[in-house]
Chains A and B, each alone.
Chain A
Amino acid sequence: MRAIGIILAGGGSSRMRELSRKRAVCAMPVAGSYRSIDFALSNMEHSRVQKVAILTQFNSGSLNEHLMSSKWWDFGRKQGGMFVFTPSFRNENSNWYRGTADAMAQNLSFLKNSHEPYVVIASGDCVYKLNYNKVLEYHIDKEADITIVCKEMPPEFDTERYGSLRLDGDGKVLELVEKPMVVRSNIISCGIYIIRRRLLIEMLEKSQRDGQYDFVQDILVRQQGIRSIYGYRLESYWSNIASVEDYYRTNMDFLKPEIRSFFFWEYPEVHSKHSDLPPAKYNIGAHIKNSLLSSGCIVNGTVEDSVLFKQVYVGNNCIIRNSIILNDVHLGDNVYIENCIVESRGDIKEGSHHIGEDGIRIIVEQGERYTL
């Protein structure tokens, strides 16, 4: 591949409510066995990107733990490989990352020391499968300065929270508006970009001089009309985890056969850190309908229309409906859970009832735990 990769994995999100207390959005567990950054990282791997930087800042402990070894994505390389950049104090700079452009600019040497002519920039909080080579071919074919991967969303989609694009018949971007007040197009930016490496360095250096730090607002939006920007339309599944509602919906999407088939059964597969858990176990009293369960689970109760992550214990006579139970949760006997997300490592006391009445309720109930 003639590109290096950058995964923007910095952010927290207040719209993730209690779920972002523990971790960055990119480290959110998704679809039972994965974390959200696995999707971008696996795409990099399968696109044969040799060298990837992950820029992280907010609550990065959980993410760092997940990325402790790069071997799961085949990035344990002598040439290239995976680089995790967190902000660090330097003589010339003692700032945190003040924005996405600043994060890249503070690691400019990564860009300068590479020889590949292009850069793929991707955000780490999106669930999708994409071969970046196809985008790069398109980019070269269109002689674009910048290519933005975009997707046409259904009219009811909440476009206001995203970058909105208007394209001409050839795919050229006529207008790019970030978080528009008035929505004029339902094509949104997927947060995936291809740019020539030297142009990116040039633009980052300029924005640093101007004291501007956001890649979209301060670089992309301002370059409109000056540079030739193209939109690459993504036709397959794409979802951004930005809020509790998005997160819930994205996980529930995996209960649909076509989504499972696309991510689980079609080449290439998504890779993640291996957790060495035993197979899931179903005892007498287990009743399971339309649900996903992961390795290490032990189930003694009823689970319907739900997603259970790894190592969840479901006690006798429990009923779980329309809920997401994150990793390593222990549910005592006779627990009732409906329309909830249970935070990882939770201990839900026996006999308790939790129902999300209007909207999704997040349950954080942590007891003292010791590993014996």
Chain B
Amino acid sequence: MIKKEMIAMLLAGGQGSRLGILTAKMAKPAVSFGGKYRIIDFPLSNCINSGVDTVGVLTQYMPLRLNTHIGIGIPWDLDKNFGGVTVLPPYEKMAGTEWYTGTANAIYQNLAYMEQYNPDYVLILSGDHIYKMDYEAMLDFHKEKGAECTIAVMPVPMEEASRFGIMIADGDRRITDFEEKPENPRSNLASMGIYIFSWETLKEALITNSAQPGLDFGKHVIPYIHDKKLPLYAYEFGGYWKDVGTLTSYWQANMELIDIVPEFNLYEEYWRIYTNSVSIQPQYFGNASEVERSIIGEGSEIYGAVNSSVLGCNVVIGEGSVVKDSIIMHGARIGKNCVLEKCIVAEGAVIGDRCRLGEGEEAPNETNASIYRDGLVVLGENTTVPDDIIVGKNVLIAGQTRAENYAGGRLKSGRSLILEGGEL
């Protein structure tokens, strides 16, 4: 008989629409982060580092990149005969076939997967946060308290508490009440979307509530367990935890990595982060290159200047170009004598020579001013920009653009240029 004490279910099916064009062709957990990584690497590495070697990854939205990245789990040592990583997409049934309609519904549809490992505990994770966390310590807490469900929480500044799901706990950390995005928060313990359930409790809660449309952990399952007066505990996490849900927070989290000793340190021997690296070759710096305060992935070739930026693998920066405060992802190529400031250039994008991106005054973006903001210039995957183009701030460009798409060789601040092949 196969027996796993705790298995993990990783919710990776969401689009993450607030990342705009970055998630046009891939689910949020597959978006690159920190040069060579993708967001899902963090929870996956946490799992194997915590001794959790059975992980079901629930996919739904644009799963190709995610599937390719996970493969059979080799980079995380999750290629196992019993357990390991399994990708779980929605599937057709005799009756009642449906998509994953909510976080808990997705888990409910995979009861059979969990059942075959005969677990005592199930860890529910989401694939869209940057953090290092020992789930085993959380499990110890869960056992010690005799909890049926433990929610990982993080103290946040009181003034920000109204943006989160807030847990109210007593002195023993037992949750007495909770509120979703409260106007007047009674506590500053924000839910991190990480849960440990005792298996029988989870199973019973999912089956009982299975008819609930859009079955969700925060909205339905946790309230159900609370109403049944089952022991529900808050596990306080004190380390670095970053939600990279918006373009601005995504950009900031990347920029934090370039500090001398960053708060989130990737260079510690202990608790390494693993990834399926696009490239393993060394990076090359040309004779006229300049580089400062930056991290750069394998195989990149730098002939120009890179300052305060995060570069992925196999990126080429042409001679005379200056890249500043930017994120350049895998395989992107920047031509010669360009200036890029506060740009997010997605994978495989190509920029011609003598382009200037991120110039001038800010103006609200015409497509979505709440996503494309804070002066960022965002280029979608495989976008091309021809030579001699000047681009303002809060701009979005997607598709194979040509010179005639830019009136007077310019794209003003706040404008969006979306061509076929670069759909939103």
Give the interface of A toward B (CB within 8 A): 31-33, 71, 254-255, 260, 263-264, 269-272, 274, 276, 278-296, 298, 303, 307-308, 371-372
- The residues of A that contact B289 with a CB separation of less than 8 Å are 288-289
**Does more than half of chain A's interface fall in helix, strand or loop, or is it mixed?**
loop
Is B99 an interface residue, CB under 8 A from the partner? no
Q: How far is the CB of B99 from chain A (nearest CB, A)?
A: 35
Contact with A along B276-300 (1 / 0, CB 8 A): 0100111111110111111111110
- The residues of B that contact A292 with a CB separation of less than 8 Å are 282-285
Could you tell me the distance between the alpha carbons of A282 and B294 in the complex, rounded to whole angstroms? 5
Could you tell me the distance between the alpha carbons of A292 and B301 in the complex, rounded to whole angstroms? 9
Q: How far is the CB of A265 from chain B (nearest CB, A)?
A: 9
In contact, B36 and A260 (Cβ under 8 angstroms): no
Give the interface of B toward A (CB within 8 A): 34-36, 74-75, 258, 260, 266-267, 269-270, 272-275, 277, 280-287, 289-299, 301, 306, 311
List 7 A–B pairs whose Cβ atoms lie within 8 Å, in order of A's numbering. Answer: A276-B275, A278-B267, A282-B306, A284-B260, A289-B285, A289-B289, A294-B282
In contact, A279 and B297 (Cβ under 8 angstroms): yes
In contact, A260 and B284 (Cβ under 8 angstroms): yes
A300's nearest neighbour on chain B, judged by CB, is B260
Could you tell me the distance between the alpha carbons of A294 and B275 in the complex, rounded to whole angstroms? 16
Could you tell me the distance between the alpha carbons of A309 and B299 in the complex, rounded to whole angstroms? 13
In contact, A293 and B283 (Cβ under 8 angstroms): yes
- The residues of A that contact B270 with a CB separation of less than 8 Å are 372
The listed residue (B36, B286, B292, B298) touching A284 by CB distance below 8 A is B292
In contact, B281 and A282 (Cβ under 8 angstroms): no
Q: How far is the CB of A109 from chain B (nearest CB, A)?
A: 29
The listed residue (A33, A281, A289) touching B281 by CB distance below 8 A is A33
**Does more than half of chain B's interface fall in helix, strand or loop, or is it mixed?**
loop
The listed residue (B75, B280, B292, B296) touching A279 by CB distance below 8 A is B296
Could you tell me the distance between the alpha carbons of A371 and B283 in the complex, rounded to whole angstroms? 27
Given contacts A298-B267, A372-B270, contact A283 B293 (CB under 8 A): yes
Q: How far is the CB of B58 from chain A (nearest CB, A)?
A: 25
In contact, B282 and A281 (Cβ under 8 angstroms): no
Could you tell me the distance between the alpha carbons of A289 and B284 in the complex, rounded to whole angstroms? 9
- The residues of B that contact A71 with a CB separation of less than 8 Å are 74
In contact, B287 and A290 (Cβ under 8 angstroms): yes
A308's nearest neighbour on chain B, judged by CB, is B282
Could you tell me the distance between the alpha carbons of A274 and B275 in the complex, rounded to whole angstroms? 10
- The residues of A that contact B260 with a CB separation of less than 8 Å are 283-284
Q: Which of A288, A291, A372 has the most CB of B within 10 A?
A: A288
Q: How far is the CB of B32 from chain A (nearest CB, A)?
A: 11
In contact, B291 and A286 (Cβ under 8 angstroms): yes
The listed residue (A286, A290, A303) touching B286 by CB distance below 8 A is A290
Could you tell me the distance between the alpha carbons of A308 and B275 in the complex, rounded to whole angstroms? 22
In contact, A274 and B294 (Cβ under 8 angstroms): no
Could you tell me the distance between the alpha carbons of A264 and B314 in the complex, rounded to whole angstroms? 10
- The residues of A that contact B294 with a CB separation of less than 8 Å are 281-282
Given contacts A274-B75, A293-B285, contact A279 B295 (CB under 8 A): yes
A273's nearest neighbour on chain B, judged by CB, is B280
In contact, A280 and B283 (Cβ under 8 angstroms): yes
The listed residue (A263, A271, A279, A294) touching B36 by CB distance below 8 A is A279
In contact, B292 and A282 (Cβ under 8 angstroms): yes
Could you tell me the distance between the alpha carbons of A260 and B283 in the complex, rounded to whole angstroms? 10
- The residues of B that contact A285 with a CB separation of less than 8 Å are 292
- The residues of B that contact A279 with a CB separation of less than 8 Å are 34-36, 266, 295-298, 311
Known: A264-B299, A279-B266, A282-B291. 5 other contacts (CB 8 A): A260-B284, A278-B36, A279-B296, A283-B292, A294-B298
Q: How far is the CB of A369 from chain B (nearest CB, A)?
A: 11
B284's nearest neighbour on chain A, judged by CB, is A292
Could you tell me the distance between the alpha carbons of A209 and B95 in the complex, rounded to whole angstroms? 75
In contact, A31 and B282 (Cβ under 8 angstroms): yes
B301's nearest neighbour on chain A, judged by CB, is A260
Could you tell me the distance between the alpha carbons of A372 and B268 in the complex, rounded to whole angstroms? 9
Could you tell me the distance between the alpha carbons of A371 and B280 in the complex, rounded to whole angstroms? 24
Could you tell me the distance between the alpha carbons of A344 and B36 in the complex, rounded to whole angstroms? 24
Could you tell me the distance between the alpha carbons of A289 and B287 in the complex, rounded to whole angstroms? 5
In contact, A278 and B295 (Cβ under 8 angstroms): yes
| In the complex, the 3 A-B pairs of residues with the closest C-beta atoms, listed nearest first | A32-B282, A279-B35, A278-B266
- The residues of B that contact A307 with a CB separation of less than 8 Å are 282
Q: How far is the CB of A92 from chain B (nearest CB, A)?
A: 37
- The residues of A that contact B284 with a CB separation of less than 8 Å are 255, 260, 291-292
- The residues of A that contact B75 with a CB separation of less than 8 Å are 274, 276
Could you tell me the distance between the alpha carbons of A303 and B266 in the complex, rounded to whole angstroms? 23
A290's nearest neighbour on chain B, judged by CB, is B287
Could you tell me the distance between the alpha carbons of A276 and B272 in the complex, rounded to whole angstroms? 8
Q: How far is the CB of B40 from chain A (nearest CB, A)?
A: 16
In contact, A282 and B269 (Cβ under 8 angstroms): no
- The residues of B that contact A286 with a CB separation of less than 8 Å are 291-292
- The residues of A that contact B285 with a CB separation of less than 8 Å are 288-293, 303
- The residues of A that contact B301 with a CB separation of less than 8 Å are 260
